[in-house]
Amino acid sequence: MTDIERIAGVDEAGRGPLAGALVVAAVILDPARPIEGLGDSKALSEAKREALFPQICERALAHNIVIVDVATIDRLNIFHATMHGMREAVRGLAPAATLARIDGNRIPPGLPCEAEAWVKGDARDAAIGAASILAKVTRDRLLLELHERYPEYGFDRHKGYPTADHLKALERFGACAEHRRSFAPVQKVLGNLELQF
């Protein structure tokens, strides 16, 4: 395999939610071991994503999953936390990538290789699609674990996104340790609770 063929797809899951970690994945696919059905994780059923997850891990030339915790998100802000996660995901690949295709319109600084930004890349590039599946499945599993710890918020249903049910639970129970303090809806609830005392 020539160097130029080691193209990493990079994507994230969990930029928009009010709670839980951000997950970033990088994948270098092996042309000799194709995987059927790769694409944007959001367009696939949960069962299909779960079925593809082990195939990607087994058949990819390299893959790396990075979990960026809530404390890091709050310290850096979500944009910089995403850039940090993407950089670490690419840096952790072995063998190393010679080119990274980043889903979105921004390239993280400090990457160890050349990079391209691909808007809607998860639907256009198989490696980015594979990364989106690893990130989404990993994050969904993390949120199911959070649901076990904090069942009152309904993380199993909304995965931390700001749905009406989640916002109601936030108003009723306040923020848990896994809520992102840097996000406005969480700040608003915390501010309201502080005003009550």
The pLDDT, as a whole number, for residue 71 is 98
Same domain for 53 and 92?
yes
Neighbours of 83 (CB within 10 A): 21
Whether pLDDT at 18 is above 70? yes
Same domain for 73 and 47?
yes
The pLDDT, as a whole number, for residue 195 is 42
Q: How confident is the model at residue 190 (pLDDT cuts 50, 70, 90)?
A: confident
The pLDDT, as a whole number, for residue 3 is 47
pTM of the model: 0.93
Same domain for 63 and 156?
no
Same domain for 50 and 78?
yes
Residue 31 main-chain phi, psi, to 5 deg: -60, -25
Same domain for 48 and 79?
yes
Closest Cα partner for 71 from 182, 153, 161?
182
The number of folded domains in the chain is 2
Between 197 and 114, the more confident residue is 114
The pLDDT, as a whole number, for residue 40 is 79
What's the CATH code of the domain at 49? 3.30.420.10
Same domain for 134 and 165?
no
Whether pLDDT at 51 is above 70? yes
Distance CA 43, CA 55 (A): 18
Closest Cα partner for 52 from 63, 39, 33?
39
Stretch among 17-21, 130-134, 192-196 having the lowest mean pLDDT = 192-196
Same domain for 144 and 174?
no
DSSP for residue 19: B
The pLDDT, as a whole number, for residue 193 is 56
Domain that holds residue 39: 3-148
In Å, how far are 34, 144, 155, 181 from 70, measured between CA atoms?
35, 16, 15, 8
Distance CA 186, CA 153 (A): 13
Average pLDDT, the chain: 94
Same domain for 99 and 80?
yes
Same domain for 170 and 108?
no
DSSP for residue 152: G
Same domain for 155 and 137?
no
Total residues found in the chain within this entry: 197
Whether pLDDT at 5 is above 90? no
Same domain for 176 and 187?
yes
Same domain for 56 and 8?
yes
119-173 tens-digit pLDDT? 999 999 999 999 999 999 999 999 999 999 999 999 999 999 999 999 999 999 9
Please give the structure tokens belonging to residue 193: 């609770």
In Å, how far are 13, 97, 105 from 139, measured between CA atoms?
7, 24, 22
